[in-house]
Structure 1
Amino acid sequence: MSLNPKPYLQEIVLMQDKVVSFDEFPFCIPTIKNLTSLEFHPDVTFFVGENGSGKSTLLEAIAAAMGINPEGGNKNTTFATNRTHSELDDYIKTIKSYKKPKDYYFLRAESFYNVATYMDSLVSPTLQGYGGRSLHKQSHGESFMATITNKLRGNGLYLMDEPEAALSPTRQMSAISVIHKLVKDNSQLIIATHSPILLAYPRAKIYRFDQSGIHETTYEKTEHFEVTKDFLNRYEMMTKILMGE
């Protein structure tokens, strides 16, 4: 009986003794300043938290530490429009499985346009993995779905930063189906999101990023679930309050 290779990325450790100053970015971010180590679920791990809480910064660093282009794509996506990512990856130790994933991809909403442009710029664009059609000739949401349904082949480590940014609620529900298919195909996913729909994926590990650090939580206790549920249940009253009426 073979051992389960997942999680491919078991844990990360911040080498705090190497940090020169916790007053400098990104170490001044409370979640990074208080980080010692973080363990990942074999299937799906979510990062949630307010804007600026460090979710994307940490996910970007994980990508770079794993040898994936921090702007997005896979290990063969070699473009760099501008070095804007932090040097956090230099201070992260990755603890991995005995077995490497066969596939890697970082789907990053912020710089996905740059990935699409890079693919089109190749002498012989390798678009078959994206469904055979230029990502720029599709809507933002269509190009995202084309990527996760065609490019992610399974047996992989997949990082996603706010994938819901381009997806309608219906497409977000479709994305849950794709995520589950990838999990069944021996994949591990780490996803930073604000979507209460994606967060509903069962049995996932959810980490909340806030001013006191990073803490594991449950779906029903996330702000995303509580605020959305409260708003939808009382939307008429809530909109009046928000409009000062």
Structure 2
Amino acid sequence: MSTHSMRRSTLAAAGLAVAGTLVLTGCKDGNEEIPAAPAAPSAAASAPSPAQPTDPAAPSSPAGGYDGSAGASATPAPGGAAGGAVAKSGQAFKIGEAATVPFSYGSNKGGQLALAVTSIAQGDPADLEPLKLGDKVKGMIPYYISYTVKNTGTTDLSFSSVGHIKGLLGDGSEAQGVSIIGKFDKCKDNSLPKGFTNGQTQTNCVIALAPSAQTKVSGAEYWGEPYNNLSSPPQKALTWK
């Protein structure tokens, strides 16, 4: 992951049924992407709105149960079920191995998750055509990063969105990502369903782009709170390879 302080920018393009937003990634220096507030279940069937550039906002304070010290593990969040020690700043995991992380989303405070990147699969450039990104992704190769989310705490995380997963190239730098608005069957990234309580599990997917066929996406990182530069002291992302 790059350690240079860079601002995050987005370019948007919309199609009739699905839209893609190309995310140009840099270091997480306060321009963190924050998901929109979850919609009511009935809104899921409505037509998607075109993707639009948004002004990044600062994330909420870290969830309880993380002591904020660099490289230090902590006990689970208050009220959380035992899920192992909370992952340390910058901790590396193998593909399929779960990390215990504190988690909050909107009013769902003090949660805890077991988060695991389970696979990184190469796609075909033609897969990106429905996203109407055109020359912005010319020559790039999509990779699909699948990850599981398990609620290991006692907080009901219904309708929360667990994002902040990015691809890593072979040299450790961040791959560009694509945010999806609408339905994209090859890589579904859904909000957590109603009743996502302790023990519930969901598999999500994000797209990472390799700049050419000669470069591969070989790892992934999680940079949600508190694993980013906004923590005090600054923290490092969790990684999977």
TM over 0.5: no
TM-score, scaled to structure 1 = 0.24
Structure with the higher helix share, 1 or 2:
1
Structure with the higher strand share, 1 or 2:
2
